[in-house]
Amino acid sequence: MNFNWDVFWQYLLQPSGVYLTGLWLTCLISVLAMLLGCVLGLAAALLRLSRNPLLNLPVRFYVWLMRGTPLLVQIVFLYTALAAGGIFRFEDIDLFGLVIPGNIQAAIIALGLNEGAYMAEIIRAGIGAVDKGQYEAGRSLGMTFAKLMRRIVLPQAFRVIVPPLGNEFNVMLKNTTLVSVIGVQELLLSTQMVTSATFRVFELYLVVAIYFLLLTTLWGFFQRWLEARFGQSDRPSSPPPASTRMFGRSTLNLLRAR
């Protein structure tokens, strides 16, 4: 195998502008799509708690549809099929002087819609893990449903939601490669453009694999910090020393004062 180490190290340590653009777009799409998915997932999870079938059944259908069809099909359908059917076409928009292409809009929305279905089940499981007595205590204090969720239920459910939420973002980073099929110049499509000019396929695809490995590894460190940060109150505290258990803290403080 004719492996060119010079090309490999050059694009790994000194990436071109095309690579940096793809890397930036990959991170941007991942973050925006994940935020959209979290908002949709929270709304869907709360609607799933409703006993009203007019609110409950559409959400069930949305979750069933998004989880039951391939993400690649959803991306192509949203961007290509809707335009071909004359239903909706994503046009470039000018936002505060920044032009956002239609394919990037479609990529964020498609990934966000798909993620929302998974986050709905994750958040619903987190809410279900909160003790029912917490609901009763909040209602006895006269709290509204919104205030009960905001003050009592969701803060406790968040400890359960954080680990799968971190895993979902990890998956989101890798799923951004799928939007290359609609012409979004993320990291994978940027690599394909460079390989078509240099013909160094093996070296450049190895570089893009390392980039993705680096992104997911960095996120893994942040996820572990996040889990430790929000899981502190769940850790059992160390038992007090034997002297404190026998005589009590106040008695020992008096003895030390003398």
Structure tokens, 189: 């499509």
Q: Are 25 and 108 in contact (CB under 8 A)?
A: no
- Please give the distance of CA 237 from its chain centroid, rounded to a whole number: 31
Burial class of residue 166 in the structure, from the number of CB atoms within 10 Å of its CB (0-12 exposed, 13-18 middle, 19+ buried): middle
Greatest Cα pair distance in the chain: 88
Q: Which helix (H) or strand (E) holds 180?
A: none
pTM, to two decimals: 0.84
- pLDDT at residue 241, as a whole number: 56
**Pairwise CA distance, residues 119 & 113, whole Å:** 10
Q: Domains of the chain (ranges plus CATH)?
A: 16-192+221-254 (1.10.3720.10)
Angle between helices 201-230 and 5-13 (to 10 degrees): 40
- pLDDT at residue 232, as a whole number: 52
- Please give the distance of CA 174 from its chain centroid, rounded to a whole number: 11
Angle between helices 17-48 and 53-68 (to 10 degrees): 150
User: What is the chain's pLDDT, residue by residue, as a tens digit (258 residues)?
Assistant: 688 889 899 999 998 888 899 999 999 999 999 999 999 999 999 999 888 899 999 999 999 999 999 999 999 999 999 999 999 999 989 888 888 999 999 999 999 999 999 999 999 999 988 888 888 888 888 888 888 888 888 888 888 898 899 899 999 999 999 999 999 999 999 999 888 888 889 999 999 999 999 999 999 999 898 888 876 544 444 555 544 444 444 444 434 444
- pLDDT at residue 171, as a whole number: 94
